[in-house]
Amino acid sequence: MRYFVTGAAGFIGSHFVRELMSGAYGVEPTGVTVYDKLTYAGNLENLASVSSDPRFTFVQGDICDGPLLDTVLPGHDVVVNFAAETHVDRSIHGPQDFVVTNVVGTQTLLDACLRHGIPRTVHIGTDEVYGSIDEGSWDENEPLQPNSPYSAAKAAAELLVRAYFVTYGLNVSSTRCSNNYGPYQFPEKVIPLFVTNLIDGGKVPLYGDGMNVRDWLHVDDHCRGIALVVAKGAPGESYNIGGGLELNNRELTERVLAEMGADWDSVQPVEDRKGHDRRYSVNDGKLRALGYAPQHKFEDGLAETVAWYRGNEAWWRPLKAKAAIPPR
């Protein structure tokens, strides 16, 4: 089995590739091609542990580049699409890059998969496509009601995924994950941002009243869920992937502070994000019926993540400047 994994120099995609090549998902790939544009969040150091494996190939490329995809895609058995612009704040600041990469890029990749007869494709999405929910949990049949330019672009990508299944018969499924955390996450995201700020003796920004709720999913659990969808997911279907722990942002902040040995004096309240969704919650029973269950307890995963950032300053320090959102 030859895998073609887009956006795999980033946080989640690189974890998937490292685990895939270790045999953790019960398959032994004969080849893995990582295809990544290497934007500010792409980092080949994330793949250093597998880069010397003879099965590994890296191609620097944009998923909007159809001619390049025509050159490098043929002969692969599975495509997993992680390539995306993902940071909500950046999407509010500059939506166009999100539409180009997440919508046009997805369409270009799906077209290439169709042209070259790729047997299996999985598109990686987000629970943010549902919008905000006051009570209960979304299942996959809920309407998509995105509220940020990021989530709107991801919802559009998912609609294209559905269209390529229905119209062309492409064997493609999609996933919708909750908030990820773990080692190698780019330091613009909330947990590594808080941890690295606190390591440097700085403060952590807390949006609004801090009562926005998210479900937290360890990156390893997420990637095992993706591997399960690759192997057992039905064509044309979407699958929620959750971590099973909902925390509001104040609770998350308290847990990070406690793990770092800091107190509430290290918190800096800031103006709320525009269009800030109040609560996300996914029902992942559909994937659990295929055998999925998260294995990482949040307290253990958070401790492991904090320890990783403490021990890998050489990895994240050069990235901190890139994490700042430039003026519009």
Phi and psi of 99, rounded to 5°? Answer: -65, -45
In contact, 108 and 64? CB cutoff 8 Å:
yes
Could you tell me which residues come within 8 angstroms of residue 180 by beta carbon, excluding any fewer than 6 positions away? 11, 12, 217, 218, 219, 222
The residue assigned the tokens 């800030």 is 276
Q: How many CA atoms lie within 13 A of 32 on its CB side?
A: 29
pLDDT at 89: 86
DSSP state letters, 216-263: EEEHHHHHHHHHHHHHHPPTT-EEEE--S-EEEHHHHHHHHHHHHT--
Task: Report domain 2-180+216-241's class.
Answer: alpha beta
pLDDT at 50: 98
Report pTM. Answer: 0.96
Give me the phi and psi of 145, to 5 degrees please: -135, 65
Looking from the CA of 140 toward its CB, the CA atoms found within 13 Å total 20
- β-partners of residue 20 are none
Cβ contact 170:114 at 8 Å:
yes
Structure-derived torsion over alpha carbons of residues 90, 91, 94, 100, reported in degrees to the nearest 10: 120
CATH topology of domain 187-214+245-275+296-323: UDP-galactose 4-epimerase; domain 1 (3.90.25)
- Token pair of 60 as six digits: 């620097």
Q: What amino acid is encoded at 101 in this protein?
A: T
What pLDDT score does 326 carry? Answer: 59
By CB atoms closer than 10 A (0-12, 13-18, 19+), residue 71 is exposed
187-214+245-275+296-323 shares the fold of 2-180+216-241: no
Q: Contact, 206 vs 270, CB < 8 A?
A: yes
Please give the chain's pLDDT, 328 residues, in tens.
999 999 999 999 999 999 999 999 999 999 999 999 999 999 999 999 999 999 999 999 999 999 999 999 999 999 999 999 988 889 898 999 999 999 999 999 999 999 999 999 999 999 999 999 999 999 999 999 999 999 999 999 999 999 999 999 999 999 999 999 999 999 999 999 999 999 999 999 999 999 999 999 999 999 999 999 999 999 999 999 999 999 999 999 999 999 999 999 999 999 988 889 999 999 999 999 999 999 999 999 999 999 999 999 999 999 988 777 655 5
- Per-residue model confidence (pLDDT) at position 63: 97
8-state DSSP, 127: G
**CA 34 to CA 307: how far, in whole Å?**
28
The residues, any chain, with a CB within 8 Å of residue 291's CB and separated by 6 or more, are 228, 232
Asked whether the beta carbons of 242 and 179 are under 8 A apart, the reply is no
Q: Where are the domains of the chain?
A: 2-180+216-241, 187-214+245-275+296-323
- 195 in helix, strand or coil? helix
Tell me the catalytic residues: 127-128, 150
Supply the DSSP string of 285-321, one letter for each residue: HHHHTTT------HHHHHHHHHHHHHH-HHHHHHHHH
